[in-house]
Structures are given as C-alpha cells and as structure tokens.
Amino acid sequence: MALPPDVQKRKIRERLIGLEGRARINEIRKILAELPGYKNGDYRMMKKLLLEDVKKTKSRANIKYQDWLGVERQGHRQFCLVGAPSSGKSSLLAKLSGMNIKVAEYEFTTLKPIPAVIRLNGALIQIVDLPGLIEGATEDAGGGKRLIGIVKNTDGVLFMIDLISDYSRAEKVYEELKKAEIKKPIIFIGNKIDSPRAKNNAEKLRKKFNDLILISTITGEGIEELKGRIWKETKLIRVYTERTKEPMILEKESTIKDLVRTIHKDLLEEFKEAVINGKSAKFPEQKVGMAHVLEDEDRVRIITN
C-alpha cells in the first residue's frame, strides 16, 4: 500500500539530503522505480519534481565556482567544525561522514566550507568543516568575518584542538569566538590522543576547555563518545511507532500531538488515544492523550476512531 503523500515526500527529502552529482541522480532513479505508477495526483507531481531535480543536478555539476558566503542548511541540525589551521578538522569530517576529503600535513588545506550530512541515531546532522580560523578573525583576518557569520547561524560548534602542536593557537581562536559573542553550544575536541606527546597537553587543556573530549581520527578512539555528545547537544528525541520503520525525529519536549501531526495531519481528526512504553510512561502500556510529553526512545501506538 502506498504511503500518504506527505510521509512519502518527507522520506524522499531525507534520502536526498547531502547527495550531489552522480550519487544524487542514482538515488533519484531508485526512488522513481519504487514509486507507485499513479498517473494523477500527488504521486504524479512527485515524479515530475524528481525528474526536474535530475536536470538541475546535472547543471550544478558543470558549475566551476560557488560563492560560499553562506552554507545551505540540510538535515535536522547543523554543527560547524572550527579550529586553528591543521588541527584535524577535515580528518574528523572524513571519519564521521565516510567522505573522501582532501587531508594534508600542511596548513589551510580547507579553502572553503565543506558540508557533509551524517546519520546519527536516525537524525540527519550536517557538519560543516570551515577553513581554519586565525588570530584577528573578528577583524576579518583570513576572511574571518564570513566564517564567524556562518558559525553564528549554526546550532552548535565542534572546536578542534591539536594536542601535539602549540595549543596557544587554539586559545587565540577561542578568544576570537568570545569576541564575536558566539552563544552556541561548544564541544571541545582534543585530537591526536594516539600520540605519546598528547597526554601532558591534554591534562593542561582540560583546565582551560571544559569537558574536553579526547579523540584520534587515526585509531578512532573517542569517536563514539563524541557522537554521543553531539546527539545530546542536538536536543532531539527519537520516537518509534508501529506506522514507521525508522524513528520519528522530534524536538525535545514534543508531545503526542506533535508526533501525530508529523506522521500525517489528517490523523489529528481521527486520533482517539495513544499507548506508550518508555521513559515517559509511568507504567507499561500507559494510555495518554495529545498533551503527553514524550522522551527519547519512547514507543507509541496511535489509536484512532
């Protein structure tokens, strides 16, 4: 049985997030093959829009220059990777996303923002690797004003620190963020913990940067801890229902009403009650109404009239 059009459109958007070029075109062709063969209505329009997307994707592939004054947001949340040049930002993005990203031992490898979308606990999280920030960024040194503008519009900051280099550079970059009055959540990440020289520096840096997470992009140490911290800062929750295979991704403090509206707006009129199991339930199979506040990993069964 075909999914309701609103649900199908959402699933299509999620499947295409972060894809470009040949990968996007191939995924669109898969979607077109899976769609029901309706010749009228919403599904016909979906097919038309998908075919137009293929043409636009082919056109974008021929563009040689892209203005990067801003980065188009994709997914449920966006985090920016910031730090001094050559702190390991690109290596971390490659580790998290699986993308083949240019990584070198010299500074300023990243010349423009590089966005990638990762799937974390069912949510789509966009990570944007920014060119290295330097002292004087707030006065536009190294094009810093444009970069800080991107940071101000993000949902959170992943602040990379090279544990085996002169970490005073990281302190100077942090001072630039404070000058710019960045109010976003900041996750401090100490990279290259696999190096014997990193241990002493890590202890000193813990006093300066709260809750420093130690990682190695080479061995993978600390990556899972970092993913857990990113998830915590998203302020999102996963809710499972019998109507969907994947968890529904909702804002923290969302209610049953928010869940029902996300599944399909027509369900609001048909809703009778919900049966829940999980952290928000006082007991198994608790029956609740639309005002009930959900928690992460709740399981919900919607009862309709």
The one-digit pLDDT tens for each residue of the chain (305 residues) are 567 778 888 888 888 876 777 778 888 888 888 888 776 778 888 888 888 888 877 765 543 333 444 678 889 999 999 988 778 888 899 889 876 655 444 344 445 788 888 999 999 999 998 887 766 767 766 666 778 888 888 999 999 999 988 778 888 888 888 888 888 999 999 999 999 888 888 888 888 888 999 999 999 999 999 999 999 999 999 999 987 778 999 999 999 999 999 888 888 999 999 999 999 999 999 999 999 999 999 999 999 98
Q: Is 47 part of a structural domain of the chain?
A: yes
72 within some domain = no
CA 147/CA 157 separation, integer angstroms: 12
Are 118 and 249 in a shared domain? no
- Its pTM surpasses 0.85: no
207 in the same domain as 136:
yes
For residue 63, which amino acid is it?
I
Strands 77-83, 156-162: pairing kind? parallel
Dihedral over Cα of 99, 101, 105, 110: its sign: negative
Answer positive or negative: Cα dihedral of 40, 42, 45, 46.
negative
Residue 95 counted as domain residue: yes
Structurally, the chain folds into a number of domains equal to: 3
Predicted pLDDT at 201: 85
State the pLDDT at residue 142.
63
- How confident is the model at residue 70, as a pLDDT? 61
Considering 180, 211, 234, which residue would you say is the last residue of a domain?
234
Instruction: Identify whether 71 is part of a domain.
Output: no
Give the residue numbers spanning the domain of 255: 236-304
At residue 277, the pLDDT reads 97
Q: pLDDT value at position 243?
A: 73
55 and 111: one domain?
no
Q: Which residues, other chains included, contact 22 with Cβ-Cβ below 8 Å and sequence gap of 6+?
A: none
Residue 154 maps to a domain: yes
* CA–CA gap between residue 216 and residue 286 (Å, rounded): 44
Query: Domain for residue 97, yes or no?
Result: yes
Residues 243 and 185 reside in one and the same domain:
no
Residue where a domain stops, chosen among 179, 210, 234: 234
Q: Which CATH number is 272's domain given? A: 3.10.20.30
CA distances from 194 to 62, 120, 124, 210 (A): 41, 25, 29, 21
pLDDT score recorded for residue 61: 52
Are 97 and 28 in the same domain?
no
CATH for 106? 3.40.50.300
Rounded CA-CA distance 41/120 in Å is 34
Residues 113, 37 share a domain: no
pLDDT of residue 46: 87
**Residues 199 and 274 placed together within one structural domain of the fold:** no
Pair (12, 94) in one structural domain: no
- Are both 206 and 252 inside the same structural domain? no
* Residue 296: per-residue pLDDT: 97
Residue 70 lies in a domain: no
Please report, for residues 45, 48, 193, the alpha-carbon distance to residue 39 in angstroms, rounded to integers and kept in the order given: 9, 11, 58
- 119 near 77, Cβ under 8 Å? no
What pLDDT score does 1 carry? 56
Domain boundary among 234, 253, 270: 234
Same domain, 169 and 272: no
Q: Are 68 and 150 in contact (CB under 8 A)?
A: no
Q: Are 113 and 133 in contact (CB under 8 A)?
A: no
In a domain, 263, yes or no: yes
* Claim to verify: residue 224 and residue 170 sit in the same structural domain: yes
188 and 274 in a common domain:
no
